[in-house]
């Protein structure tokens, strides 16, 4: 299993909330195996923070929304500096949390509140 971070617009978050899934292709961020190989002394939390930060940096523009933390099964993506394209779909049960641009974490049950507060 691989944890990936999916930058979403508010419109995409609304679709996920209503339909329960998002079709691909989707651009995601994750811990690049080359990063690990180049710095084996860095712990997993630090790598995950790097991937989260990279995804949050993608949140630009007037409809910039949130980052979705997603657990993907059987994925070995071709990454380029921590970024990769995922064919999709992403289904809501595979998502574990929603992160704001400042990396504040929210549970999936809080999506409606996030959408209403925007």
Domains and CATH numbers, the chain: 2-117 (3.20.170)
Q: Is the pLDDT of residue 37 over 90?
A: no
Rg (CA), the chain: 14
Q: Of 104, 103, 117, 85, nearest to 13 (Cα)?
A: 117
Q: Is the pLDDT of residue 93 over 80?
A: yes
Give the pLDDT confidence score for residue 29 in this predicted structure. 96
Per the prediction, the chain carries an average pLDDT of 92
Q: Of 77, 88, 100, nearest to 30 (Cα)?
A: 77
Give the pLDDT confidence score for residue 28 in this predicted structure. 96
100 token code pair? 């704001």
> At 28, phi and psi to the nearest 5?
-125, 170
Q: What's the pLDDT tens digit per position in 43-76?
A: 889 999 999 999 999 999 888 999 999 999 877 7
- Above pLDDT 70, what percent of the chain? 100
Contact call for residues 89 and 24 (beta carbons, < 8 A): yes
Tell whether pTM > 0.85: yes
Indicate the pLDDT class of residue 89, thresholds 50, 70 and 90: very high
* Alpha-carbon gap, residue 89 to 110, rounded angstroms: 22
């Amino acid at each position: 299993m691989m944890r990936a971070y999916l930058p979403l617009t508010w419109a995409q978050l609304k679709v996920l909330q209503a339909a329960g899934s998002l079709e691909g292709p989707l651009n995601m961020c994750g811990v690049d195996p080359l990063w690990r190989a180049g710095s084996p002394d860095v712990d997993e939390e630090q790598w995950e923070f790097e991937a989260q930060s990279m995804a949050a940096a993608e949140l630009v523009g007037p409809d910039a929304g949130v980052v979705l933390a997603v657990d993907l099964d059987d994925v070995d993506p071709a990454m380029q500096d921590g970024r990769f394209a995922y064919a999709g779909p992403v289904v809501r049960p595979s998502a574990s949390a929603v992160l704001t641009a400042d990396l504040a974490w929210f549970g999936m049950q809080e999506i409606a509140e996030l959408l209403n507060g925007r």
